[in-house]
Amino acid sequence: MRTALLGVILLVLGAVAIATGILPVPDALDVANRVWPILLFVVAITVVTELAAEAGLFTVVAERLAKWGLDRAWLLWLLVVVLATACTVFLSLDTTAVLLTPVVVLLARHVGLPPLPFAMTTIWLANTASLLLPVSNLTNLLAEHELATGPFAGPIGFAALMAVPALVCIVVPSVVLFVVYRRALLARYEPKAGTSPEDRVLLGVSAVVVILLVPALVSGIAVWIPAAGGAIVLAAFFAARRTTVLKFSILPWQIVVFASGLFLVVQAAGGLGLTTVLSSLVGTGDSGLDLLRLSGVAVGGANVVNNLPAYLALEPVAGSPLRLAALLIGVNAGPLITPWASLATLLWHERLRALDVHIQWKHYIGLGCIVVPITVVPAVLLLLAVH
């Protein structure tokens, strides 16, 4: 509810900005036209993943992972790394935070391993693995609009621009996590018997929908179209077989309210001089130092406020594909320090509390301060090297 309340406050501030002329009506309409497909995608993909989870798809995946781990915690952890990366890349970081977190916690408990290394892997990769495709992160979908023309247009072009930084931002945090939790990950475990799905039809339909969504989301079609189609198909099957699951609570309405208000307020702030101030901080060039300045300010903004407003505020001073990529590295791979740096982290922590998994924020912040610079700096420099 706190997210929704903050969203309402932001919407009120945005309405005041429109009413007083700080944010002209044409500019507000332009923001709305740009944002509605993104928010519709967020709603649709959330419905798909929530219903797939209700069908038991992710539980089945977790049990298969336990078998494929061959009784070795380090191999099981590597499989979680692959799953978290794939889930983030193709279904978005918020999906990973919301749905994969309980899966990996239950998986760890199922085989008698401590859940924290798996939970930390999930949230770190939810953020840092979200660079490769437009659908991986809301910031990427916004950036795709800026890359609509030129060699980096579309999902394939976007991936070509971000591939090397994305690889760095997956490998470096994973290595750090393994070193930190090596004692727990070098243990062995005994797999237990799996559970039977309640409804094999819903499980099968969910699997087919998710499998078909993966190529559809990178096909170049507007991502809200296949996501909405998948949501409608699953909702229809659940309406016929398990109606009680179809509740208003599965809709991410709080995120929609928050994001809508945030877009308006940041757009209004740009008109009040925020863009000018940020431009003096980040420079304008494409040299390594200029890109690191931009990415560093993005990391700071994400951890002080949140990665979404940080991106929105800095987008106008990006100015080139390389600078936009450096900005994305900062706001996507950088939010590993403060709990509020990304919405995914907040959602992750809520799931951990519900599962009675406790985390010391001093430990989280300390690790983040170590991994962020050794991830972001080489990712930016290699971006420049390959482009």
Q: Tell me the two tokens of residue 176.
A: 């750090």
Q: Residues near 237 by Cβ (< 8 Å), separated by ≥ 6?
A: 201, 202, 205
Please work out, in degrees rounded to the nearest 5, the angle formed at the alpha carbon of residue 307 by the alpha carbons of 332 and 286: 60
Which of 374, 380, 384 shows the shortest CA–CA distance to 124? 374
Q: Tell me the two tokens of residue 79.
A: 């499989």
Mean pLDDT of 34-38: 81
Give the pLDDT score at 111: 87
Q: Centre a 10 Å sphere on the Cβ of residue 5 and count the other Cβ atoms it contains.
A: 12
Dump pLDDT digits (tens) for 80-120: 999 999 989 988 888 888 778 888 988 888 888 999 999 99
Residues linked to residue 72 through DSSP beta bridges, in sequence order:
188
Mean pLDDT of 286-312: 90
- For 87, 256, 309, 334, 373, the CA distances from 263, given in Å and listed in that order, are 26, 11, 8, 21, 28
**How far apart (Å, rounded) are the C-alpha atoms in residues 69 and 107?**
11
Give the pLDDT score at 234: 95
Contact indicator for 47, 158 with CB cutoff of 8 Å:
no
Mean pLDDT of the chain: 88
**How far apart (Å, rounded) are the C-alpha atoms in residues 108 and 122?**
12
Give the pLDDT score at 125: 97
Which of 1, 2, 4 shows the shortest CA–CA distance to 261? 4
pLDDT band at 67 (very low <50, low <70, confident <90, very high): confident
Single pTM value for the model: 0.84
Whether the predicted pLDDT of 195 surpasses 80: no
Residue 37, judged by CB atoms within 10 A of its CB (0-12, 13-18, 19+), counts as middle
Q: Tell me the two tokens of residue 208.
A: 């087919």
261 vs 202: which has the higher pLDDT: 202
DSSP code of residue 147: T
Give the pLDDT score at 117: 95
Using only C-alpha atoms, the chain has a radius of gyration, in whole angstroms, of: 21
DSSP code of residue 72: B
Dump pLDDT digits (tens) for 319-357: 889 999 999 999 999 999 998 888 888 878 877 887 888
Give the pLDDT score at 175: 97
Whether the predicted pLDDT of 166 surpasses 90: yes
* Phi, psi (deg, nearest 5) at residue 188: -120, 160
Whether the predicted pLDDT of 1 surpasses 70: no
Whether the predicted pLDDT of 124 surpasses 80: yes
Which of 121, 106, 99 shows the shortest CA–CA distance to 206? 99
Residue located via tokens 């290394």: 117
Which of 148, 125, 147, 119 shows the shortest CA–CA distance to 137? 125
Whether the predicted pLDDT of 301 surpasses 70: yes
Whether the predicted pLDDT of 197 surpasses 80: no
Contact indicator for 237, 243 with CB cutoff of 8 Å:
no
Q: Tell me the two tokens of residue 55.
A: 């069908």
pLDDT band at 283 (very low <50, low <70, confident <90, very high): confident
**How far apart (Å, rounded) are the C-alpha atoms in residues 129 and 28?**
32
Highest mean pLDDT out of 141-155, 256-270, 318-332: 318-332
Dump pLDDT digits (tens) for 210-233: 889 888 877 778 888 998 999 999
Q: Tell me the two tokens of residue 212.
A: 């078909």
Whether the predicted pLDDT of 69 surpasses 80: yes
Which of 333, 334, 291, 343 shows the shortest CA–CA distance to 132? 333
Which of 146, 145, 138 shows the shortest CA–CA distance to 308? 138
pLDDT band at 147 (very low <50, low <70, confident <90, very high): confident
Longest dimension (CA), the chain: 65
Contact indicator for 216, 226 with CB cutoff of 8 Å:
yes
**How far apart (Å, rounded) are the C-alpha atoms in residues 290 and 323?**
8
